[in-house]
Structures are given as C-alpha cells and as structure tokens.
Amino acid sequence: MSITSLILVFILFTGLSALFNFLFLKWTKTLGTKNLAPAEELGWSSSYKPAIGGISFYIIFLVSYVVYLFLNNPEFMAKEELTHLGVLIVVTLGFFTGLADDAFNTVPWLKLSAQIACGIIMLLFGVRIEFFENIYLDSFLTIFWTVAVMNSINMLDNMDGITTIVSIFILLAAAIGSGLNLSSNFFYTFICGGTVSALVGFLLFNWHPSKIFMGDTGSQMIGALLAAIGIIFFWNNELIDTQHTWYSKLALVITAFVIPIADSLTVTINRMRRGQSPFVGGKDHTTHHLSYAGLSDRQVALVMISTVSLSLITWLYDVEGESKTWLYSILLIYSSIVIAFLYSSTLWIKSKTVFESKYSK
C-alpha cells in the first residue's frame, strides 16, 4: 500500500470519526450514572457532557483491523498475527471495562482486575517487556507497565483535549517508527494511524470548550493500546543498538510517555505527602496547576502540544539516526527537565495558593 493511499485512508477515518462523534453528540446527552454525579464530583468542567468519545475510537480501531486483514490476507496462526490478536483482545477488554465504568460507575477493584488481565493477556500472546533478561521479572514489569499506563492515561483525562493530544503524539511516534520498516510492521502503522485519525476526529469536539469527553470508555481503551504499543515500539524497539540496552530503553520510554509519567508522579508524590489516595479523581494535576498559575485551558493544551511535539522530534531523530549514548543522554535530560517543570508548577506560589484556597480542608 502506497504512502498516498495510506494518507487517503487516514483522512477517511478522520472524517468517519468526526461524523460518528457528531451523531453520538446529537443522539446521546449522557452516558450512564457517572454523568449524574454531584457537582463536587465532576471533573475540571463545571457542566455535564456525554462521555462517548471512546465509542468512535473503538469503531475506527475495529475498522482499521478489518481493513488490514482484508489487505494482507495473513496466515492467522503466524506468530505475528497471534500478537496482533492479543492487541485486539486487550484493547477490546479496555474498551468494555471503561464502558461499564461510564455506564454503571463500577467499583475500583473491577477496573484494576481488568487492567491486570490486560497485562496477563499480553504475556500470553507474546507481548513482553525485554529488560531484565529474566522471564519472571520481565513478566511482572509487563503487568505493572500495563496497569500504570492505563491508570495514567485515565488520570490525565482531566482537561479538554489533553489526553487526546498526548495519545496522538505517542501513537504518531509509533506509527512513523513502524513505518521505517513498513513491510514487517504494516499492521502497527495501520492500527496506530487509524487510531490517530479517530483521535483527530474526536479532538474537533474535545478541544476547549469541549462538547464531549472520551470518558473511561476512551481512556481505558487508549491506555490499553498505548501500553501494548509502548512495549512493542519503545521498550523492545528493534532499531536500538544492542550495546545500549537498558539505558536506551529507559530513554525512549520516558521520552515518549513523559507527560503521563510526569503527571502521575506529581499527583502521587503530592497526595502521599498530604496523606491522600493517589488513585481517586482530583483537581491537583499538573494541568490544573498550570491553570491556577494563570494559563487558560487552551494555553495549557498548547503547552502540552509543544512539549509532546519536541518529544516526538527528539525521539524520531534518535531512532532514525545513528544510536549513540550521548543521544540517549539528551533524551533523558530533556525528559527530566519536563518532569521537573511540571512538578514545579504545583509549587509555584500562585498555583499553590489558588489550589489551597479552593480545595484544601
């Protein structure tokens, strides 16, 4: 399939996503009891909006998967195809887990159990982080990574457009990276590109002021996909020179996921210092503190776009160029600066004062 044909297909998927979200918005005002929560339990937005974006993600993902099968007529039991099937299963499980939570406000342990199940399923289908050279440690890290990514993407979905933007750039990095070896990685190029198209179509309705949210339906599905893609194209990147091993793996992973990592670390550290649970919703995320400091919601989104754009550029420069230790060092230094900056936003006098005046008891 030519690059031109791919672009046309992705444009079509973007249009379909926009159409689906338009129709869902017209026909659906709320999804389940979660949207009927008391005002103090609402997210950043002060108004109720349907959490339906994830439905379009899943539809486009399935369409991408079916079109890929139609174009390639693969041998279904081949090792690569079993891995692809594993990705399909965990994404599907993530979608229905989120859908149940949006519709019925399920208990936290059920979501956690589903996330652990996603990690186990990936192991069963051959998707395992190769880091410790020990199957048991690598298996534990794979499950931990899956749970962590699905939760961090869910937690990051706290302001218009943020999770959508971050997910687009991570998937773009994977799609372009897989495109460097299109013959063997066409599945991932197609799936990542299709999901990016779905996210772009959704962003038309999720950009501030948003009309719809992706909800847990979207964040759990996207989180499951990003966890799998993160293992395949960042932890186990085939383009990494073997002499760099663990150092290069950490550099690529942290750079690609720098925003979710920074936000999750910040929230966890600050809440533990206050004696609060890091696993519940709140208005103390890095995006919120940037807003408390005086930025508008759109300006916060633009800060995130700038950050993830630079992450994408530095990541692609590294994997396309000659891998050297100093390049990985630059990636880690850049990521450390981003994490330090976002964490420091919670310590700025203005943002800290606004947060404490509104939410501290």
Buried b (16+ CB within 10 A) or exposed e, 219-254: bbbbbbbbbbbbbbbbbebeebeeebeeebbbbbbb
Contact 343, 266 (CB under 8 A): yes
Q: Would you give the end-to-end CA distance of the chain in angstroms?
A: 59
Q: What is the pLDDT of residue 321?
A: 56
Predicted pLDDT of residue 278: 83
- Residue 16 confidence (pLDDT) above 80: yes
The whole-number pLDDT of residue 43 equals 52
Is residue 359 within 8 A of residue 283, CB to CB? The reply is yes
pLDDT of amino acid 6: 83
d(CA 338, CA 127): 29
Residue 277 has pLDDT above 80, yes or no: yes
Looking at per-residue pLDDT, the higher value among 352 and 301 belongs to 301
**For residue range 94-150, what is the model confidence (pLDDT) as tens digits?**
999 999 998 888 899 999 999 999 999 999 999 999 999 899 999 999 999 999 999
If you ran DSSP here, which 8-state letter would residue 281 be given?
-
Structure tokens at 90: 């965990």
Beta strands in 22-66 (DSSP E): none
Residue 216 has pLDDT above 70, yes or no: yes
| Tokens at 35, concatenated | 């949207």
Q: Which of 349, 328, 327, 341 is nearest to 261 (CA)?
A: 341
Report the C-alpha gap between 251 and 229 in whole angstroms.
16
What's the rounded Cα separation, in Å, for the pair 79 and 74?
11
> Can you give the pLDDT at residue 328?
82
Q: Report how far residue 356's alpha carbon sits from residue 347's, in angstroms, rounded to the nearest whole number.
A: 11
| Per-residue pLDDT, 111 | 94
Q: Is the pLDDT score of 354 beyond 90?
A: no
Q: How far apart are CA 305 and CA 296, in angstroms?
A: 14
Determine phi and psi for 181, rounding to 5 degrees.
-130, 65
Q: What is the pLDDT of residue 183?
A: 53
| Each residue's pLDDT tens digit, 233-267 | 889 877 665 555 788 889 889 999 999 999 999 99
- The answer on pLDDT for 212 being more than 80 is yes
pLDDT tens for 290-333 read 999 999 999 999 999 999 988 887 767 666 555 567 778 888 99
| Closest residue by Cα to residue 120 from 40, 228, 28 | 228
Partners of 51 in beta bridges: 213
Q: Where are the domains of the chain?
A: 1-238, 239-361
Residue 347 in 3-state DSSP? coil
Verdict on whether the full-model pTM lies above 0.85 = yes
Q: What mean pLDDT comes out for the span 173-200? A: 82
Average pLDDT, the chain: 86
Strands (E), the chain: none
Q: Name which residue leads in pLDDT, 26 or 333.
A: 333
Query: 70: pLDDT confidence band, cut at 50, 70 and 90?
Result: confident
Pick the more confident residue, 16 or 176: 16
